[in-house]
């Protein structure tokens, strides 16, 4: 077989594709390149500069990144983002999985509960934030319930107290996220062969053993998707925080995303804000790649 023949055979799969298919692939890629990849590269470039959005761009090299390590607000935002990632991501995962396990079986009324849990996802994060802002007001539902059950000493200005503001916002974000994660897990649970669970039940495995040894391993690919979604959503969470607290009081609920926004559009330090955006991107990639590497290592045959 000649080299020319081998080359033609290697090109056959692409040669057989209709022009319409190539257009449907290349056109979205071109749009993505113009509206996503190019602005992202510009953001990386701006992170090495000082710019107020209108004046002259000044190259500062790693100056912005050096300033981040000396910025106490950035340190607090980074710590709050870590708390958000653990609590928002972890509780969304656990709550969504628990709801999916409880509501996966088709029985009377289960559709209503699924809809009730999924309903918050139809609201935007801003609307969710405004709803929960009313709930957490000093004269809102939370304090009214505490007063009604004799726990009025626990009532506080939830969004105005630095010790509770971040956790109040996390509650609002969980209200919207758990239903979404539940739907993903229900889809994964439907793909598990019922015969495996039935065989384990006959062999005497209890609910926890079936969950640990059958359900979770079978949900491996779904777990990967859910984890990636939660990490990305955690690091880019902005709407609900900005709608409820704007990062306050005293930066107690400041996240990297809100600090980036306020630095760029209120302080007009676009170079410094771009450096924060690069940090967010690096954190997201680091989490996802580390999990993917660990997952691939576990799947690799001995």
Per-residue pLDDT at 125: 87
Per-residue pLDDT at 299: 64
Residue ranges and CATH numbers for the domains of the chain are 67-299 (1.10.3720.10)
Averaged pLDDT score across all residues of the chain: 88
Q: Which of 122-131, 191-200, 221-230, 273-282 has the highest mean pLDDT?
A: 273-282
Average pLDDT over residues 92-97: 95
Predicted TM-score (pTM) of this structure:
0.85
pLDDT band at 6 (very low <50, low <70, confident <90, very high): low
Average pLDDT over residues 81-100: 95
Average pLDDT over residues 32-49: 88
**Statement: residue 157 has pLDDT above 60:** yes
Rounded distance between C-alpha atoms, residue 234 and residue 153, angstroms: 32
Per-residue pLDDT at 105: 79
pLDDT in tens, 175-229: 989 999 999 999 999 888 889 888 988 888 888 899 988 999 899 889 888 998 9
pLDDT band at 282 (very low <50, low <70, confident <90, very high): very high
pLDDT band at 11 (very low <50, low <70, confident <90, very high): low
More confident position, 122 or 10: 122
Per-residue pLDDT at 224: 86
**Statement: residue 12 has pLDDT above 80:** no
Per-residue pLDDT at 134: 94
């Amino acid at each position: 077989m000649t080299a020319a023949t081998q080359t033609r055979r290697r090109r056959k799969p692409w040669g057989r594709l209709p022009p319409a298919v190539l257009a449907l692939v290349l056109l979205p890629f071109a749009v993505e390149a113009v509206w996503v990849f190019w602005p992202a590269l510009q953001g990386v470039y701006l992170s090495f500069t000082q710019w107020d959005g209108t004046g002259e761009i000044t190259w500062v090299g790693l100056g912005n990144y050096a300033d981040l390590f000396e910025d106490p607000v950035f340190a607090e935002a980074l710590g709050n983002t870590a708390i958000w990632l653990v609590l928002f991501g972890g509780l969304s995962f656990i709550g969504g999985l628990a709801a999916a396990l409880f509501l996966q079986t088709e029985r009377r009324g289960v559709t209503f509960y699924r809809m009730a849990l999924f309903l918050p996802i139809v609201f935007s994060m801003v609307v969710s934030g405004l709803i929960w802002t009313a709930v957490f007001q000093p004269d809102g539902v939370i304090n009214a319930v505490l007063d009604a059950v004799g726990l009025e000493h626990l009532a506080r200005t939830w969004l105005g107290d630095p010790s509770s503001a971040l956790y109040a916002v996390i509650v609002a974000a969980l209200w919207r996220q758990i239903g979404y994660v539940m739907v993903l897990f229900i889809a994964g649970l439907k793909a598990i062969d019922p015969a495996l669970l039935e065989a384990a039940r006959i062999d005497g495995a209890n609910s926890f053993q079936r969950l640990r040894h059958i359900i979770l391993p079978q949900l491996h690919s779904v777990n990967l998707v859910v984890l990636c979604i939660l990490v990305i959503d955690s690091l880019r969470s902005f709407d609900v925080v900005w709608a409820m607290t704007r990062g306050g009081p005293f930066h107690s609920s400041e996240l990297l995303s809100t600090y980036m926004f306020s630095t760029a559009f209120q302080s007009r330090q676009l170079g410094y804000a771009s450096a924060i955006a690069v940090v967010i991107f690096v954190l997201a990639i680091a989490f996802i790649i580390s999990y993917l590497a660990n997952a691939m290592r576990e799947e690799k045959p001995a």
